[in-house]
Amino acid sequence: MTVIPPGSIIGILGAGQLGRMTALAAARLGYRVHVFAPESMDSSCGQVVAYHTQAGWHDLRALARFADDVDVITLEWENVPTYAVDFLARHVGVHPGSNVLSVAQDRVAEKSFANKLGIGTAPFRAVRTLDELKQAVVEIGLPAILKSTRMGYDGKGQMRLNPGDDLSGAFDAIGSDEAILEGFVDFEREISVITARRADGTMLSYLPVENRHKSGILDTTIVPAGITPEIAAEAVRVAELLAAELHVVGLLAVEMFVTRDGRVLVNEMAPRPHNSGHWTIDFAETSQFEQLVRAICGLPLGAVGVTAPCVMTNLIGDDIDGWQAMLAEPGARLHLYGKGEARPGRKMGHVTRPA
C-alpha cells in the first residue's frame, strides 16, 4: 500500500461544501489541495484550496495537467463521469475508482449489487417506458416511489405514486427514460453508517445515526440513532460488507431503512463524505473528512468514537439568516459554506449542538 505523506498535494474532483470541508481537514494534516471542477474559484471549495482548475470533465488536456500536479485524487461528488476518472487513473491513483462509481451512480445497479450480497432493499423494477412502468406497478403495487436512476439527490428526480395517479404524467415529469420504481417501505426510522476503508482492507465505521428529512432533503441527524445494539451491529455489518465487496478506498456512506419488524434495508450509498456525517467534525474523535484523507493517503485510520451525543441541523435556504443567533448560542457549532445566494433547497451550512 502506497503512503502519501504530508506535504503532498491531494486532488479533489468537485467544488462543493464536501470538498471544502475535506480541504480544511487536509490542511490540518499538512496537505495542500488542488480542486478540479467546472465551477469558478469562488465556489465553496475553491475559496479554501491552494490550487484550482476550472474546466469541464471532457477537457482531457486540463485533466492531464491536473493529474500531473497531484499525488492522489479523491472526489466529493459521485456523479463525476467515469470516463474522466478512468483517464485520470492512468496517471495517478484515484479513490474511489470508476468500478465503485459505476455502481453508486445508478440506483438499479446499486440495489442489484446489494441484493447479490444477500442485503435487503425495497422491491424495485427498472423502468424505461410507460408500459414498463405500468407492469412494475402491477408487480410492486402502490404506493411506490418513481425515481430517475441517475443524478437525483435531495428529493430531485423522484415522486411518490399513489393509487389513481396519472402514470403517464409521472413518467414524463421524472425527465428521464431511465427510471426505477421502488416499493414503498413502511419504515420506523432512517439511519446511515459511514465506513472508512484503506487500500489494504483495513476498515472502521462510525456508529449508526438517525436521519430526518423535510421535502426530500436531510434536515436533522441525531447521534446516536435510537436503535437496539443488534440493529446497530447489523447496519455496520451491511455497510462494511458493501465497502469491502466494492473495494472502496476512502469512505462509503450507506443510507438504510429500519422496518417496524427490525429489518435493515439499504436505500442508497455514496462513496464520499456524507451530509449525515457532518456531526463528526465537532463530536467524533476523528471527523469523516480527516478520515477520508487518512484512508486515501494510506495513513492509520483515526478513532471513530463519539465524544458526546449531538444533533446536526442543516441550514437550508434562508435558514442561514439566523447565523448571528447561532453564534451566540452556548454549545452550538456553526459551519457556513461560503455560498453567496440563499436559494430555496440550497444547503448553506449546518449547526451541530450537544443533545
CATH of the domain at 24: 3.40.50.20
Q: Is 103 inside a domain boundary?
A: no
Query: Please, what is the Cα angle at 10 between 80 and 25, to 5 degrees?
Result: 100
- Alpha-carbon distance 240 to 340, whole Å? 38
Q: Do 131 and 179 belong together in one domain?
A: yes
Look over the chain and give the mean of its residue pLDDT values, rounded to a whole number. 95
Residues 247 and 276 both lie in one domain:
yes
pLDDT of 222 above 80? yes
Q: Per residue in 278-311, pLDDT tens?
A: 999 999 999 999 999 999 999 999 999 999 999 9
- Percent of the chain residues past pLDDT 70, beyond the cut: 99
- CATH number of the structural domain spanning residue 345: 3.30.470.20
The answer to whether residues 273 and 169 belong to one domain is no
The yes-or-no verdict on residue 83 having pLDDT over 90 is yes
pLDDT, position 125: 96
Can you tell me the mean pLDDT for 117-140? 95
Q: Is the pLDDT at 123 greater than 90, yes or no?
A: yes
End-to-end CA distance of the chain: 40
CA count, 13 A, side-chain hemisphere, 242: 37
Average pLDDT for 222-233: 98
Residues comprising the binding site for ATP?
107, 147, 152-158, 182-185, 190, 213, 267-268
* Structural domain harbouring 314: 187-354
Q: What is the DSSP letter of 244?
A: H
As beta bridge partners, residue 34 has: 11, 51
Mean pLDDT of 200-216: 96
pTM for the predicted model, two decimal places: 0.96
Domain count, the chain: 3
C-alpha cell recorded at residue 248: 472502496
Q: Are residues 344 and 298 in the same domain?
A: yes
For 89-108, the pLDDT digits (tens) are 999 999 999 999 999 999 99
Annotated binding site: 107, 147, 152-158, 182-185, 190, 213, 267-268
Cite the beta strand spans of 216-301 per DSSP E. Answer: 217-223, 250-259, 264-270
Per-residue pLDDT tens digits for 252-263: 999 999 999 999
The answer as to whether 175 is a domain residue is yes
Residue 250 zone, left/alpha/beta (φ > 0; ψ -120 to 50; rest): left
The mean pLDDT value for 308-332 works out to: 97
Assess if residue 284 is contained within a domain. Answer: yes
Last residue of a domain, one of 183, 202, 234: 183
Give me the pLDDT at residue 171, please: 87
Predicted confidence at residue 216, as pLDDT, reads 86
List CB contacts of 153: < 8 A, sequence separation 6 or more.
Answer: none
Q: Does residue 58 surpass a pLDDT of 80?
A: yes
Residue 107 φ then ψ, to 5°: -65, -35
Q: Which three cell numbers stand for residue 345?
A: 433547497
261 and 282 co-located in one domain: yes
| pLDDT over 70 (residue 156) | no
* pLDDT of res. 62: 98
Whether pLDDT at 151 is above 80:
no
Q: What is the pLDDT of residue 294?
A: 98
- 3-class state of residue 133 by DSSP: helix
Reported confidence tier of residue 226, pLDDT bands at 50, 70, 90: very high
Query: pLDDT tens digits, residue range 172-185?
Result: 888 777 899 999 89
Q: Is 299 helix (H, G, I), strand (E, B) or coil?
A: coil
Is residue 154 predicted with pLDDT exceeding 70? Answer: no
Residues 35 and 149 in one domain: no
Domain identity same for 33 and 65 = yes
Q: What is the mean pLDDT of residues 27-32?
A: 98
Which residue among 131, 163, 183 closes a domain? 183
What pLDDT shows up at residue 157? Answer: 74
pLDDT at residue 155 above 60? Answer: no
pLDDT at residue 85, rounded to an integer: 98
